[in-house]
Each structure stands twice: as structure tokens, then as C-alpha cells.
Amino acid sequence: MKKITLSLIIITSLIIVSCKNEDDALSSCRTCNSSQTTPFEVCENSGGNATVNGEDTGTQFDVYIADLEAAGASCGG
């Protein structure tokens, strides 16, 4: 019985930590759109890069947003 209780506590703790890490991973998001696209979300991941559709672009978030805006996109909070 003691092993089952300990196992449940460990599993619950891992789930809570896992969910918290996901929230921390994407700290800042903006919705962008242009005449050529439907609205899409660009988020800043924990490494500072822009993430689109869950994929790390390999480009710093601020640079990625600036490039999108320079290309005519509108990105808001």
C-alpha cells in the first residue's frame, strides 16, 4: 500500500511540473496576419526563439516579429 501511495504522489508531482514547464516554455505570444495569410500565433519559447505552430524557427522572437512586420504583416498582443 505504501508503494502505491508513493507512486501516485510521484506521478502527480511529475504531471504538475510537466504542465508548469509547458506554460513557462511559451512566455509571450502575438497574433499576426497579413493579406497573404490567415491569422497565426507566434510565441517566444524559453530559449528566446520564435515558435510558430509548435515549431522553433531558430530565429530570436523580436527579430522574427520585426521581419514579419517589415514584410507587411501586422502582429498584435
Number of domains in the chain: 1
The answer to the question of residue 16 being in a domain is no
| Whether residue 36 has pLDDT greater than 60 | yes
- pLDDT bin (cut points 50, 70, 90) of residue 2 is low
The answer to the question of residue 31 being in a domain is yes
The answer to the question of residue 77 being in a domain is yes
CB atoms within 10 A of CB 72: 9
Average pLDDT over residues 2-20: 53
The answer to the question of residue 17 being in a domain is no
Domain that holds residue 66: 25-77
Contact 54/42 with Cβ under 8 angstroms?
Answer: no
The answer to the question of residue 36 being in a domain is yes
Neighbour-count burial for 21-35, b at 16+ CB within 10 Å, e otherwise:
eeeeeeeeebebeee
Question: What is the sign of the dihedral through the CA atoms of 20, 24, 30 and 31?
Answer: negative
The answer to the question of residue 72 being in a domain is yes
The answer to the question of residue 71 being in a domain is yes
Please enumerate in sequence order all residues whose Cβ is within 8 A of that of 39, keeping only pairs 6 or more positions apart, or say none: 31, 32, 33
The answer to the question of residue 29 being in a domain is yes
Give the pLDDT score at 27: 75
Average pLDDT over residues 48-65: 95
The C-alpha cell of 5 is what? Answer: 501511495
